[in-house]
Amino acid sequence: MYAYRAKPQVWRVPEAVRAMKSHGLFATQEKASLFIGFIAGVLGDNPRGARTLVAKMFPMSHKEQAVIVKAIAYSGLPKWEMLLRDFAPRMPERKILIDKFLSGEEKTLPTLPLKANVDGLYVLWGNYLATGHHRPVLRVVSALEWCRDGRRKGLSWKRFKAIFRWSKEDDEVADMTVCSTAKWTLASYAERDRSLLKLYRNELNMQPDKVAAALKDVVAAAETFESERIRKEQLAAIEKARQRELARDAQGSKGAAAGSVAIATTCVVAGATGHPEIAVPCVVVGAIYSGAVKLLRISR
């Protein structure tokens, strides 16, 4: 994927998709996100051959067919709805998901929600890898707005709902998770794709103050190849957010907060094991989540 734009071989993408499938890269949403974005970008950039490309990606298991459904919906093709309807008979077990996209209940790439949605960031990066378009990168930049500093005071109705997990509108750990992933991936990708630095610098004076402040730090880290610093700082920020959550949350919500931190920590640590370029999306294993919850409860 990282070498694709240098010499695009579109006809080999279905072969690559089948290889991804055989290696289990579509087994979970966390694993699949980057690849879904990449496939969507290839389809969007090749409207005349999109139908043939999709046809050659089959056969696909019922569970893995979600990759095709989402790739078509995220492709940005002028007639993506028609293409999705045409392939719907080959994916009868995915009717519910297909109907959600066709009805607008599930969002397409330009309006894909990013709040509390780390997977969405990886979809956007996959799309960039395939297309080189700046729009998905700018959406990742926009996620820097959820970086938070300091302790919040008071108990608003939004905060009250978030404490009991009735709402994610004011979930500090979830926000910090998305912000941290955005900040680190922006720096890491710019280390291997220096053209991104120019984009970041141009955006510094065009973004809201809060976003610009975080983006300035990204630029400084990318210029000196110090994305590792960003990783460590974001780990610390997530831990501080977790401690604040634990300090003010009721007992019933502590397990959920621990789960969020497990997700955040796994995401941020993923590139420290030989993949600083974030070559694969972070994978959240169920055992990590449940283990963190149990550990937290025992440690009370």
Residues 45 and 103 in one domain: yes
> What is the count of structural domains for the chain?
2
Which segment of 128-137, 228-237, 284-293 scores lowest on mean pLDDT?
284-293
125 in a structural domain: no
Cα dihedral value 165, 168, 172, 175, nearest 10: 150
User: Above pLDDT 90, what percent of the chain?
Assistant: 61
Looking at the structure, do residues 176 and 282 belong to the same domain, yes or no?
Answer: yes
The Cα–Cα gap between 45 and 75 comes to 8
271-277: long-range contacts (C-beta < 8 A, 24 or more apart)? 271/184, 271/188, 271/231, 272/228, 272/231, 276/188, 276/191, 276/227, 276/228, 277/2, 277/188, 277/189, 277/191, 277/192
- Containing structural domain, residue 43: 4-111
pTM over 0.85: no
Q: Is residue 20 part of a domain?
A: yes
Taking the C-alpha atoms of residue 172 and residue 177, their distance in angstroms, rounded to an integer, is: 8
- Same structural domain, 88 and 156: no
Per the CB < 8 A criterion, the answer to whether 240 and 151 are in contact is: no
**DSSP-derived secondary structure letter, 256:** H
Paired tokens of 40: 């969507």
Select from 276, 271, 246 the least CA-distant residue to 261: 246
Question: Does 80 fall in a domain?
Answer: yes
**pLDDT, tens only, 245-296:** 787 765 444 444 444 444 444 444 444 334 444 444 443 333 333 333 333 3
**Burial class of 116 by CB neighbour count within 10 A (0 to 12, 13 to 18, 19+):** middle
Terminal C-alpha separation, the chain: 45
End-of-domain residue from the set 60, 90, 111: 111
Question: Who wins on pLDDT, 119 or 165?
Answer: 119
Is residue 271 domain-shared with residue 216, that is, in the same domain?
Answer: yes
Does residue 139 belong to any structural domain of this protein? no
Q: Name the CA radius of gyration of the chain, rounded.
A: 20
Pair (166, 293) in one structural domain: yes
| Residue range 1-37, pLDDT digits in tens | 888 998 999 999 999 999 999 999 998 877 799 999 9
